[in-house]
Amino acid sequence: MLTLLYNRVTELAASPRAVWWLIVVAMAEASVFPLPVDLMLVPMLLANRERAWFLAFVCTLASVGGGLIGWILGAFLMEHVGMPIAHFYHADQRILNLEAMFRHYGVWIILAKGLTPLPYKFVTLAAGAAHFSLLPFIAASIVTRGARFFLEAALLRTFGEPIRDFIEKRLALVLMAALILITLGIALIELL
């Protein structure tokens, strides 16, 4: 099933309505869709490198919009919709753990998890279930999702096809290093 879905998403990336499909996939990926939006974004960036910033911007906004849907599902429909989604991904306990972490660490969870391979949909559902404040949720989502998609856009715009393998295999590592640098920077600012 995932192979068929993967093939369909990459076909949509080449269609004349690819930008609209990017919006749909980015929104769905942030709340329910099993495949990362990168599977659609990367081929689109490679095919149209001069529109890299526009595509990253659209993907960021759509992903944050999908994150709002996930937040709403977690806040108001967790029992009937959110937990069945988590159960589908065998992530019931992961969602509950994230929900508890939101109560203690708040925005730091979004910043940290938004730059890791943990699916964003888990973060959005848990944030909603914890009734985490919406404005910090949106702001942190814009930062982390934007960092991810604009980094991909910058790499693909600059290096093209040769960087594709790197992004597909090692992007999580680069994003984790960026998270560590950001955290160290914030810690230094607070110490001064």
Query: Is residue 178 exposed (0-12), middle (13-18) or buried (19+ Cβ within 10 Å)?
Result: middle
H helix count then E strand count, the chain: 10, 0
pLDDT of res. 40: 85
One-letter identity of residue 131: H
Q: Please answer whether residues 163 and 156 qualify as being in contact, where contact means their C-beta atoms are separated by less than 8 angstroms.
A: yes
Q: Please answer whether residues 74 and 129 qualify as being in contact, where contact means their C-beta atoms are separated by less than 8 angstroms.
A: yes
pLDDT of res. 179: 62
- Of the candidates 27, 26, 49, the one whose C-alpha atom is nearest the C-alpha of residue 39 is 26
Q: Please answer whether residues 46 and 156 qualify as being in contact, where contact means their C-beta atoms are separated by less than 8 angstroms.
A: yes
Token representation of residue 78:
């967790």
pLDDT of res. 192: 47
pLDDT of res. 101: 86
Q: What is the pTM of this model?
A: 0.80
- Of the candidates 55, 5, 65, the one whose C-alpha atom is nearest the C-alpha of residue 30 is 65
- Boundaries of domain holding 28: 1-191
pLDDT of res. 178: 63
pLDDT of res. 99: 87
pLDDT of res. 122: 87
Q: Which residues of the chain have pLDDT under 70?
A: 1-3, 5-6, 114-118, 164, 167-169, 171-172, 174-179, 181-192
pLDDT of res. 182: 60
As for how many domains the chain has, the answer is: 1
pLDDT of res. 42: 86
Summarize pLDDT for 11-42 with one digit per residue, the tens. Answer: 777 788 999 999 999 999 988 887 788 888 98
